[in-house]
């Protein structure tokens, strides 16, 4: 998991830095992309699993800068593709799910921001939802306990003892770190896009509703 997260950040940082330098001509975003690449490489090299939450927080802090710089406040939708998931955020026009052509992709006049969530590659999708949540969240020390109940197309999530701080803009767009990971797993298990509709509470205990698009 640690290596997968590092690779995810590395790919995201590379795409950001290249698109910022060659397309947007924005030195600030280029530097941000390079910084994210460094975080990804650092994460891959870490030996202690207990250090994961701190590295994730560093990545989320950089993502916060990106979202603030682009003034993004729309909800992101988790879109599955094989065993990977991306978060699509409408920048203008109608939300669509085009094949990524960079961090910002335009199709039929509408632009979407395409991001990687904290964990965007999930292996062993044949495992149960509870098993995957335990493996990717609880066993990695990102939260003490996570419970999920499905009601139709909506999953009710209860999280106790979250160990990762999620900045405000990231939380608004992608949800908290734990909710984001669970939403990624749900999108891949369902094979359909989903969105984190709401979250209530604090790090000691919070609830969330994740809706699957039908």
Place of tokens 């939450």: 53
Tokens of 14: 């590379």
**What CA–CA distance (Å, rounded) separates 63 from 5?**
14
With a CB cutoff of 8 Å and minimum separation 6, the contacts of 108 are 93, 96
**Cα 61–Cα 21–Cα 169 angle in degrees, nearest 5:** 25
Q: Is the dihedral of CA 39, 207, 127, 51 positive or negative?
A: positive
DSSP assigned state of 121 = B
Q: Is the pLDDT of residue 8 over 70?
A: no
DSSP assigned state of 124 = -
Return the H-helix or E-strand segment holding 140: none
pLDDT in tens, 72-90: 999 999 999 888 899 999 9
Closest CA to 76 of 211, 214, 178: 211
Specify the 3-state DSSP secondary structure of 199: strand
What is the per-residue pLDDT for 188?
96
Contact yes or no for 174/87 (Cβ under 8 A): yes
**What CA–CA distance (Å, rounded) separates 145 from 134?**
8
Tokens of 100: 């990524």
Q: Mean pLDDT across the stretch 97-117?
A: 86
How many CB atoms lie under 10 A from the CB of residue 101?
Answer: 11
Q: Is the pLDDT of residue 27 over 70?
A: no
**What CA–CA distance (Å, rounded) separates 36 from 13?**
5
* Domains with residue ranges and CATH for the chain: 129-212 (3.30.70)
Band of pLDDT at residue 20, cut at 50, 70 and 90: very low
Percentage of the chain lying above the pLDDT 90 cut: 43
Q: Mean pLDDT across the stretch 17-25?
A: 49
Specify the 3-state DSSP secondary structure of 56: helix
Q: Mean pLDDT across the stretch 165-187?
A: 95
């Amino acid at each position: 998991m640690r290596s997968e997260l590092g690779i995810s950040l590395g790919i995201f940082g590379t795409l950001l830095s290249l698109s910022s330098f060659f397309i947007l001509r924005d030195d600030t975003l280029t530097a941000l992309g390079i910084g994210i690449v460094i975080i990804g490489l650092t994460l891959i090299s870490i030996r202690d699993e207990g250090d994961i939450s701190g590295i994730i927080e560093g990545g989320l802090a950089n993502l916060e800068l990106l979202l603030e710089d682009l003034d993004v406040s729309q909800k992101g939708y988790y879109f599955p593709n094989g065993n990977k998931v991306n978060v699509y955020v409408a920048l203008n026009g109608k939300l669509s799910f085009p094949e990524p052509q960079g961090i910002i992709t335009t199709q039929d006049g509408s632009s979407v921001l395409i991001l990687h969530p904290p964990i965007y590659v999930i292996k062993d999708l044949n495992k149960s939802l509870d098993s995957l949540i335990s493996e990717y969240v609880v066993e990695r020390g990102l939260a003490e306990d996570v419970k999920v109940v499905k009601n139709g197309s909506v999953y009710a999530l209860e999280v106790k003892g979250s160990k990762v701080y999620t900045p405000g803009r990231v939380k608004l767009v992608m949800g908290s770190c734990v909710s984001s990971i669970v939403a990624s797993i749900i999108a891949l298990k369902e094979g359909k896009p989903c969105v984190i509709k709401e979250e209530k509470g604090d790090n000691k205990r919070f609830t969330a509703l994740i809706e699957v698009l039908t």
